[in-house]
Amino acid sequence: MERHLEAFLEMLLAERNAARNTLTAYRSDLEDFARFAAGRGEGLASAGTATCRKYFASLAAAGLSARTAARRLTALRRFYRFLLRERVRADDPTGALDAPKIGRSLPKYLSEAEVDALLAAARARPEAQAPTMVAALEILYATGLRVSELLALPRNALASGAEVLLVRGKGGRERLLPLSAAAREAAAVLVKTRAPGRWLFPGRGEAQPMTRQGFALALKAVALDAGILPARVSPHVLRHSFASHMLARGADLRSLQLLLGHADIATTQIYTHVLEERLQRLVEAHHPLATAHAGADRRRGGC
């Protein structure tokens, strides 16, 4: 089992440049299934369709969400397709399985006023923390970076007042992101207040970047200062806020796809709710019949 699992993870790293968190998630999901299969006397690489079906039935019975079950099914499918390609086995036992139905989940995001409040709270943090949080928030909100991309930025990423940021995202794909003047200024202030080192956002030991967990905790503290429920604020919520506000102000999906680094525009389409709301407002504001109906409604209300 270990041999095939390790070979699969090595392939993801070598061919797809998978992130560490992605590899960890795949390992965890496949090891969970391997334990279930072992209880039925089967191995991970040799498990049959019946075992796969019973596994997902057990997940549903345990109350696991459809989204988590769908993620585990994706892990199994990719693993068995890898075994097919390597001729380890001649079939895919997940081929006949239906993916769990996931309801449409709208991305959670903050209002523009709430983002302003977060930035104001970051500026008011103690002197040792303010430059880091202001720079992080300005860059995240200006670019829509993933938190992993933000924390991996080298110290010289914004050297010489660069107006664009070169980022290596998922799958090793590079993209250029324009930077706001506020983001450039905040980064410059941060660099001046930090001792020389490799990272723009160093961790406690300076040799390593700040951890995702450490940044998330610092962000929750800023949210609390801003009067925003900390549970509503995370680095990914800021990424959603960037995307939602861009669309609300006229950006198109294709441009947003490039900025966010999505390989498939279908991923970007989770933000179409913003476009739908904007179109509805446009119709209500400018369509002659909408105006006429509004006037009629007001007249009826006044009778």
Each residue's pLDDT tens digit, 64-104: 888 889 899 999 999 999 999 999 999 999 998 887 776 55
Cα–Cα dist 93/52, whole Å: 7
213 is a domain residue: yes
97 is a domain residue: no
Cα–Cα dist 70/17, whole Å: 22
| pLDDT, tens only, 173-198 | 889 899 999 999 999 999 988 878 88
pLDDT at residue 298 in the model: 45
Residue corresponding to tokens 């914004």:
158
**Both 118 and 243 in a single domain?**
yes
**Both 8 and 81 in a single domain?**
yes
Q: How large is the average pLDDT for residues 241-262?
A: 89
**Both 239 and 120 in a single domain?**
yes
- Rounded to two decimals, the pTM is 0.66
Total length of the chain: 303
Residue 262 near residue 268 (C-beta atoms within 8 A): yes
pLDDT at residue 299 in the model: 47
* C-alpha dihedral, 18 to 24 to 29 to 33, nearest 10°: 110
71 is a domain residue: yes
Residue 59 lies in domain: 2-85
Highest-pLDDT range among 69-78, 104-113, 166-175: 69-78
**Both 141 and 77 in a single domain?**
no
Per-residue pLDDT band at 268 (split at 50, 70, 90): confident
Q: How large is the average pLDDT for residues 274-295?
A: 63
8 is a domain residue: yes
Domain CATH code at residue 194: 1.10.443.10
Q: How many domains does the chain have?
A: 2
**Both 79 and 155 in a single domain?**
no
280 is a domain residue: no
298 is a domain residue: no
Residue 253 near residue 269 (C-beta atoms within 8 A): yes
Label residue 227 exposed, middle or buried (CB < 10 Å: 0-12, 13-18, 19+). exposed
Active-site residue set? 146, 170, 236, 239, 262, 271
**Both 80 and 128 in a single domain?**
no
| pLDDT, tens only, 19-42 | 888 899 999 999 999 999 999 999
**Both 57 and 116 in a single domain?**
no
Averaged pLDDT score across all residues of the chain: 87
Q: How large is the average pLDDT for residues 199-203?
A: 91
